Amino acid sequence: MKEEKILQEVATYVERKLSGEGSGHDWWHIVRVRKLAEKLALAEGGDSFICQLAALVHDLVDDKLVADEGLALAEVRDLLTRVGVAANQTDQVLTIIQSISYKGGNQNHLDLTLEGQIVQDADRLDAMGAIGVARTMAYSGHHQRIIHDPEVAVRQNMTLDQYRSHQGTAITHFYEKLLLLKDLMNTKTAQELAKGRHAFLEAYLDQFFAEWDGQR
């Protein structure tokens, strides 16, 4: 019961912080990632409490959303301590949320615990499939990035600053991130889930380009 109470208190805090966020990193993204993390933890034998807790707070320290990552991290630590999370569990959660962001592929080499792998997979699954398409368009609109320009090339081997520059288009983002995620999944369960979501992305792009060229 104590763990459920902690999760509810943290969820209430995060909902208050992220409700209305307009770039696709809103409260409902958190809800979906938490559900996926819980599902993956059950299938893979991970610590469900740690996975759900990290899923709930993972975007509170995202450099896309906060001006000062250090300050944001301290606020999350204070939150977890205040609601009664043990010190060693707090350390686990903070390590996870500092390590799972895609960041243009610049963090894919990091060693993660099973719980870290699960939360990273859950977050990345929510960037794929129908939800991934919707979030890409929301994020692009939020940052005044156009949908498509055939003259804009897909970027490769980007630095973090280049990845965060909001250059490119919504469609190039598919090739710079979304279509790469299937092969970056850590757990077998996520690898299976990613197959269907990846196929949806490919089908969407096929339809998109056909419509763009007036063929359908």
Q: Pick from 73, 83, 64, 54: which is nearest to 25 by CA?
A: 64
Q: Are residues 201 and 127 in contact, defined by beta-carbon separation less than 8 angstroms?
A: no
Average pLDDT over residues 110-136: 96
d(CA 182, CA 179): 7
Helices (H), 45-86: 48-57, 69-82
Give all domains of the chain, ordered by start, each with its CATH number: 2-212 (1.10.3210.50)
> How far lies 96's CA from each of 10, 32, 129, 131, in Å?
16, 18, 24, 23
Model confidence at 64, pLDDT cuts 50, 70, 90, reads confident
This prediction has a pTM of 0.93
Residue 167: the pLDDT is 79
Model confidence at 42, pLDDT cuts 50, 70, 90, reads very high
d(CA 144, CA 40): 35
d(CA 47, CA 66): 28
21-25, 103-107, 145-149, 168-172: the lowest-pLDDT one: 103-107
d(CA 165, CA 19): 25
* Percent share of the chain, pLDDT over 90: 83
d(CA 55, CA 60): 10
- The tokens of 188 are what? 């077998």
Q: Helix 114-125 vs helix 27-44: angle between axes, to the nearest 10 degrees?
A: 130
What is the tally of helices (H) and strands (E) in the chain? 10, 0
Q: Pick from 122, 118, 108: which is nearest to 197 by CA?
A: 122
CB-count exposure of residue 30 (10 Å: 0-12, 13-18, 19+): buried
Quote the Cα angle for 109-112-113, to 5°.
Answer: 165
- The tokens of 60 are what? 């509170």
- Considering Cα of 76, then 100, then 133, then 11, what sign does the dihedral take? negative
Q: Does residue 109 carry a pLDDT above 60?
A: no
